[in-house]
Structure 1
Amino acid sequence: MSEYPSVSGLKPRALLAVETSTSVCSVALLKDHQLFEAEELRPNRHSQVLLPMIQQLLLEAAIRLPELDGIAVGRGPGSFTGIRIGIAAVQGLAFATGLPIIAVSSLASLAVQAQFSHVLAILDARMQQLYWGRYCIGHTPDGDLLATLQGQEYVSDPEQVWIPEVTSWIGVGRAWSVYASRLQGSIARLDKLVEDCRPTAAATVQLAVSYFKEGRVTRPDHIEPAYLRNEVATKPGSDQHST
């Protein structure tokens, strides 16, 4: 059950989103179907640039923070430091305003940019490993963007990336080229690769619309990052009968 039951079924007028799981600090605001966004490629400086970026976006959209319906945040996986900075900033804003938080997977934010129904999204997890997940992309009857996770999200060696044979898949993410020599088996089974993209706040805020309407929001003290490495994960491929 939602911790903010009054939002269930309501279409948000204005949502803010933050995505800081990569080297790019990304902020977006969706107001009355108009999208405002800003990005800064400032590795290791997210904590300095994030709040000023949010303030500037609020000015451009001519809206005050308390007038928003909620705040979305990319909860990872990705850079541990980046995720912590983004979540901490959003928690502070939510505590100050009483706004609900919508937590969105950074892999889902990446996956929707392929604009294809079945997507395998991967991110570089460092330590010669990958974060990855399989998503079905679609829309609600109202036209809101959806990214439905098939199975679960993983952290694993590139050789463990697993693709079902039952349908066509597109691979998305820059890590496909970084680990191409170790992903040859998976690449051979893809219909297409879309490499030049990453998680963005613009994608996050669009996914957050359906989450909000479903009541999938949380209090600032209940949000949990998706680090994956700190979790006990099922061996990749063991969920193949559930997809």
Structure 2
Amino acid sequence: MAEMILVFVAGLLGGILNAVAGGGTFITFPALVFIGVPEVAANASATVAAMPGYLSSAIGFRHEIAEIDRRLMLRLTGWTMLGGAIGSGLLLISSNEAFAALVPFLLLGATLVFLRGAQVRAWAARRRGAVTAFGAGTMVPVAIYGGFFNGGLGIVLLALFALWGMTNLHAMNGLKCWLSFALSVISLLIFAAGGKIVWIPTLVMSAGTIAGGLIGPPIARLIPMPQLRILIAVIGFGTTAIFFWRLVA
């Protein structure tokens, strides 16, 4: 019962963070590892647990999503699911030992991307048109990363959209939420087929992420964004340090 309470609270906090700034993976993934879930299964379960939050956010941006050309949406969704399938498949064939060795570096990279998200998006915006807009050559690799490790995916997607030349932040957020949901759906199917989802903790965590997604926006109005980003960065670096310590201990 204590472990399920911990998992629910982790999902709650992760859902709040994802709703207001991102970075929920820095809490949900370590919480599952802490209760004894192997690293590969913890990553798979955390990805699936975030799925309801992605869907509810996409519904919230439904008007902005509806303004995007339907054929383009279908194409991007297809490429995202293709890349997500490849990344999820790579995770399935990874051993816990190999993935555990990668985790500290993945967490560190995701934390740095999160912390420098505004600069990354600004850099991409200055180079808009530098790559083929809405091209599979950039969408598929990002989706592969998301299927393998979900941390920091939202920031990477927003930077990619800026690189494509998108400027409407609401449309970018809506597209980000929808593609993240589509990716988590294909990941769910692959991880379930591979037996990598620890269902009871995942369902409990999902309930927490839904609650967190609902109460996140009011909380966001109370906490200044700079302080919130510092808090998430501290969590990210702290989690990274813990997993580095686990690696060398």
Which TM-score bucket, shorter chain as reference? under 0.3
User: 1 or 2, which has the higher helix percentage?
Assistant: 2
TM-score by length of 2: 0.27
